[in-house]
A = this chain, B = another copy of it.
Amino acid sequence: MVDNNGTQKIVGLAPNREHSFYGRDVVSVNQFSRDDLSYIFKVADEMRALVRRVGATDLLKGHILGNLFYEPSTRTSSSFIAAMERLGGSVIPIHGVQYSSVSKGESLPDTIRTLECYADVIVLRHPEVGASAMAARYASKPVISAGDGTGEHPTQGLLDLYTIYSELGTIDGLHVAMVGDLKYGRTVHSLARLLKLYDTELSFVAPEILRLPQGIRGEMDEAGRPVHETDKLEEVISDADVVYVTRVQKERFADLTEYEQVKDYYVVTPQVMAQAKERMALMHPLPRVGEIHYDVDSDPRAAYFRQMENGMYIRMALLAAVLGKV
């Protein structure tokens, strides 16, 4: 569905065009213009209203999602399943690929071309960077990435941005602080790339060994966004409109002593929240393993479970859009 320069394909479309996502792949946040995002968020708003009012619709009745997960991710796969089911569609769940016939040595393109014989749209989670783009290249049906290795996780980026928009009513003019593992955390990279399309101020708060990669920092500078880097949450907590906390992922560390040094570097407690703005959003992609204290959950600014729920609405919007039903 994408050419070799595929991730640029949709971005290249002019802002004033009709928003036709029909038949497109979703493999990178770089595909999306501000105008695309406004459109997807508008559809997601409608999906939320619909789910709250009647639970589900028949918009995708008769359509099948091939949910192909080469590595387990209960959260993301459940979110896509729920999204498809609430749209009236069905799902082929393929979640234990490592144990399956695919391990008979079949190539990813062959697996994708087989699955698209049965399904109308494919969601792919894969451990290798670039797998989604490759799948999209071979598929004649739309492919939506659910994350590939340390590469992108575009629907997470979209739901994060949508949550900021939903919580605060705007994205322009905000000061967004990202906290924790900024080196390996792909959700941070995806969100930063989306935020640079808006008039935002960005703070990156991380211990030295988990700092934002130079490349992404460079992209922010190029986009003309004011950027602060620090290892002290207290420097930014009182000014930030959004504090986006991430888990330090043990599985990314070759050296576990390094992991032990940084794993509990930042812990958001009610005391920390006492220093934050009255109107702001505390976000986390979940799962958390201690970065945000349970006592913070009842704080109205704690947005992370609403963030989860938004994931379903964003995925409903994308599924309906690539299948040409909105």
Contacts and interface: CB of A to CB of B under 8 A. Distances in A.
A117 B312 contact: yes
Contacts of A312: 117-118
Contact of A101 (B54, B64, B74, B97): B74
Nearest to A113: B305
Contacts of A18: none
**Within the oligomer, what is the number of copies of this chain?**
3
Interface string A74-95: 1100110110011000101111
Contacts of A93: 93
Interface in A82-136: 82, 85-86, 90, 92-97, 99-102, 104-106, 109-111, 113-115, 117-120
Contacts of A81: 92, 118
Contacts of A4: none
Nearest to A94: B74
Interface stretch (A55-63, A175-183, A203-211, A220-228): A55-63
- Most B Cβ at <10 Å: residue of A74, A94, A100: A74
A101 B117 contact: no
Contacts of A95: 96
A64 to B, nearest CB: 6
A168 interface: no
Contacts of A78: 66, 92, 94, 114-115, 118
Contacts of A215: none
A212 to B, nearest CB: 22
A105 B247 CA distance: 11
Interface string A30-63: 0000000000000000000000001111000111
Interface in A262-313: 286-289, 294, 305, 308-309, 311-312
10 contacts: A56-B64, A72-B100, A74-B101, A78-B114, A82-B92, A82-B119, A109-B294, A110-B286, A114-B308, A117-B312
A-B pairs with lowest CB-CB distance, top 5: A56-B62, A82-B118, A106-B287, A85-B90, A55-B62
Interface of A: 54-57, 61-64, 66, 72-75, 78-79, 81-82, 85-86, 90, 92-97, 99-102, 104-106, 109-111, 113-115, 117-120, 247, 249, 286-289, 294, 305, 308-309, 311-312
